[in-house]
């Protein structure tokens, strides 16, 4: 894998990180962290029980039965606390689980179902459930360690360290509960959710291959992706379960193409839905590699991720704005907040080259070509649906005109055409929808805050 280099039409770029299906699966599930925590606490309990037995045995061997009796007294007092903890912890877990369900339902209903992934992947939520279940399990295990024997000479186990460990976990549970409530309340705030989505979208941009030596002049982005390649000699169909294309294993495809002496061109884009039989790769210059050589060359899942999907952040931000503009929600301020971040994202991409990526082997020969969303596609994704739904909201219309003006001043001249087209379409929509001249004049005035 280390011999894979990447080139664009104008220079070398860094290699993107591969997506780990196992890591993504564990991040999208809730069972792993609690299960691992319960296994860990069981091992810790076994160690603490062994240490408690060693302490009692050493005190008995030294004849210090008074110390053993004192430990038994402390353990008896702790038993009441441990019993209370074991009976109350499951109720506590039920309360936390109910809070999570309500928060997820509210967020998906008022914003977009795509933000549920923030709750599912929240580390603090998983840590809270893991520690709560571990505390409950430990309290049950500790209760099994108490003996009915009251003679300090005959007792074999005094669960002093086990009870102390339970109290420590209770304190940690309370601390995590406070952090969990704070985190849940933040995720219910639409501004925080939009900020989280934007941060993940910018991480995708940061992981994108970049051209060394600065930003070159932007050229045409609508050319033939097969330009400069040998004639197409075949295609490879996708074999596997239907789903969303989330990742392309660059190293495996480059290795397979080098061994076959061909160039492979990825046909679907990241985020496209593929079904068995969908053309996956175009082969240039020879016979296609075997299915064995191409095994596990792509990662397909049930939903899009931020890993290599440049447009997914815009998709989520646009969904939040559309939900806010729906008659059921009617929250144009949230739509304005989404537009703020859309402008920020497009401004960051405005001077980046958005041409297909060309990956070479260690000999410098191009072996893989991967498509990248074009600038006009990203602009259409960001504004088309919002523009259609926003003509009746002067707050959003004013913010969109300000957005177009800002982006037109920031991007190169070659990329202004789609922005001008959407600005003109928005102007026509307002003139067609708003009957009063004064209202039209007010709505057509650019304002970065919408209406104050």
Q: What is the pLDDT of residues 194-250, one digit of tens each?
A: 998 999 899 888 877 643 333 333 334 555 666 678 888 889 899 888 999 988 888
Q: Which two tokens stand for residue 69?
A: 């009796």
Taking alpha carbons only, the member of 26, 199, 136, 39 closest to residue 128 is 136
Q: What is the pLDDT of residues 275-303, one digit of tens each?
A: 999 999 999 988 888 877 777 788 888 88
Span between the terminal Cα atoms of the chain, in Å: 54
Cα separation, 239 vs 10, in Å, equals 34
Cα separation, 407 vs 398, in Å, equals 14
Q: Which two tokens stand for residue 315?
A: 């998709």
Cα separation, 305 vs 350, in Å, equals 23
How many CB atoms sit inside 10 A of residue 433's CB?
14
In a 13 Å sphere around the CA of 358, the CA atoms on its Cβ side amount to 17
Q: Which two tokens stand for residue 257?
A: 């193409």
In a 13 Å sphere around the CA of 286, the CA atoms on its Cβ side amount to 12
Q: How do 366-370 and 263-266 pair as beta strands?
A: parallel
Taking alpha carbons only, the member of 248, 238, 235, 251 closest to residue 283 is 235
Could you say which DSSP state residue 158 is in? -
CB contact at 8 A, 234 and 283: yes
Residue-by-residue pLDDT tens, the chain, 452 positions: 334 444 444 444 445 555 555 666 677 777 888 899 999 999 999 999 899 888 888 888 888 878 888 888 888 878 888 888 888 888 878 887 787 778 777 777 767 777 777 777 788 888 888 999 999 999 889 888 888 777 778 888 888 888 889 989 999 998 998 898 888 888 778 888 899 899 989 988 887 764 333 333 333 455 566 667 888 888 989 988 899 998 888 888 888 889 888 999 999 988 899 999 999 999 998 888 887 777 778 888 888 888 778 899 999 999 999 999 988 888 899 999 999 999 999 999 988 888 778 888 888 888 888 888 899 999 999 999 999 999 889 999 999 999 999 999 999 999 999 999 999 999 999 999 988 899 889 989 999 998 86
Q: How do 273-274 and 279-284 pair as beta strands?
A: unpaired
Enclosing H/E stretch for 367:
strand 366-370
Q: What is the pLDDT of residues 123-161, one digit of tens each?
A: 888 888 899 999 999 988 988 888 877 777 888 888 888
CB contact at 8 A, 121 and 25: no
């Amino acid at each position: 894998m280390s011999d894979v280099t990447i080139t664009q039409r104008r220079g070398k770029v860094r290699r993107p990180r591969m997506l780990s299906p196992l890591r993504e699966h564990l991040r999208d599930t809730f069972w792993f962290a609690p299960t691992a925590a319960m296994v860990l606490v069981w091992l810790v309990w076994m160690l603490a029980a062994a240490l408690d037995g060693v302490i009692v045995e050493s005190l008995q061997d030294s004849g210090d039965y008074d110390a053993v009796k004192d430990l038994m007294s402390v353990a008896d007092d702790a038993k009441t606390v441990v019993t209370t903890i074991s009976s109350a912890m499951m109720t506590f877990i039920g309360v936390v689980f109910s809070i999570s369900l309500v928060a997820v339902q509210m967020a998906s209903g008022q914003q977009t179902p795509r933000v549920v992934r923030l709750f599912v992947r929240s580390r603090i939520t998983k840590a809270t459930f893991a520690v709560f279940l571990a505390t409950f399990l430990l309290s049950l295990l500790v209760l099994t360690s108490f003996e009915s024997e009251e003679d300090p000479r005959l007792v074999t186990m005094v669960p002093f360290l086990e009870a102390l460990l339970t109290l420590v976990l209770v304190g940690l549970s309370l601390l995590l509960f406070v952090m969990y409530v704070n985190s849940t309340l933040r995720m219910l705030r639409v501004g925080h959710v939009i900020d989280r989505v934007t941060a993940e979208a910018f991480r995708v941009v940061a992981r994108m291959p970049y051209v060394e030596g600065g930003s070159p002049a932007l050229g045409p982005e609508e050319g033939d992706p097969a330009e400069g390649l040998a004639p197409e000699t075949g295609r490879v169909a996708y074999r596997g379960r239907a789903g969303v294309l989330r990742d392309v294993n660059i190293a495996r495809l480059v290795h397979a193409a080098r061994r076959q002496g061909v160039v492979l061109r990825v046909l679907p884009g990241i985020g496209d839905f593929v079904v068995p039989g969908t053309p996956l790769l175009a082969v240039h210059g020879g016979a296609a590699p075997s299915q064995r050589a191409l095994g596990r060359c792509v990662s397909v899942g049930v939903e899009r991720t931020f890993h290599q999907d440049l447009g997914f952040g815009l998709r989520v931000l646009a969904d939040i704005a559309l939900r806010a503009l729906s008659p059921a929600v009617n929250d144009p301020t949230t739509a304005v907040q989404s537009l703020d971040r859309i402008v920020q994202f497009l401004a960051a991409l405005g001077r980046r080259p958005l041409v297909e990526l060309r990956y070479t082997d260690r000999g410098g020969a191009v072996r893989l070509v991967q498509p990248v969303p074009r600038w006009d596609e990203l602009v259409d994704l960001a504004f088309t649906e919002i523009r259609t739904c926003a003509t009746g909201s002067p707050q959003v219309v004013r913010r969109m005109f300000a957005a177009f003006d800002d982006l037109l001043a920031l991007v190169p001249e070659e990329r202004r055409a789609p922005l001008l087209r959407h600005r003109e379409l928005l102007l026509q929509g307002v003139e067609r929808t708003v009957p009063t001249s004064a209202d039209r004049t007010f709505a057509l005035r650019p304002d970065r805050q919408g209406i104050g």
